[in-house]
Amino acid sequence: MSSLYTVTMANQTIIADSEMITIRAATALSSRASILRLYRMSCGQKDTSTSQELGVRWGLKASAFGTFTSTTPAPVIVGAVASAITGSTSNAASSCGTDSSANGGGTLTVMGQRGFNNLNGWEFIWLPEDRPLIGIDQTFVLQLQGTPTTLTGWSADLEFEEVT
């Protein structure tokens, strides 16, 4: 049975064009977490009173990953089985990370992008029929676009399901 999990980046200091969350599916179909379904993502800032318009984009990246903070997904349901996705600093297979300290040089194939105000934050919830599947050995990235006036106090999260 599949379960829902959340990858969370909380109250971090980020870099310009920060890759806030990255998640990579397993490399073999027979493995758990080889196909991931995305449900919701968000980002926002709390350590400033200065209003600023920024952008956020998301998509798939095939290679040349950045360096991240190792972050383990948490089950949405208390007591559920742990995710097969583990925390990683290098975006290995079946792993995720948050708050890039250095972005990789690989090309991001953009699936979508939006503008938002840092004081309001941003949240995106897919309609059930639009929820994307991240397939075998694919990497999904949620990235802030631009350089915020204040780099502290940023949070982001991504909710996903392990389909297989």
One-letter amino acid for residue 49 of the chain: S
One-letter amino acid for residue 39 of the chain: Y
**Cα-flanking dihedrals φ and ψ of residue 16, to 5°?**
-60, 140
The pTM of the full predicted model, rounded to 2 decimals, is 0.95
Q: What is the pLDDT of residues 85-122, one digit of tens each?
A: 999 999 899 999 999 999 988 899 999 999 999 999 99
Strand ranges inside the chain, DSSP E: 4-12, 19-24, 36-45, 53-61, 67-70, 74-75, 86-87, 95-102, 108-117, 122-125, 133-134, 139-145, 154-162
Distance CA 147, CA 121 (A): 15
Supply 148's token pair: 């915020």
The three-class DSSP label of residue 104 is coil
Whether the per-residue pLDDT at 20 is higher than 70: the answer is: yes
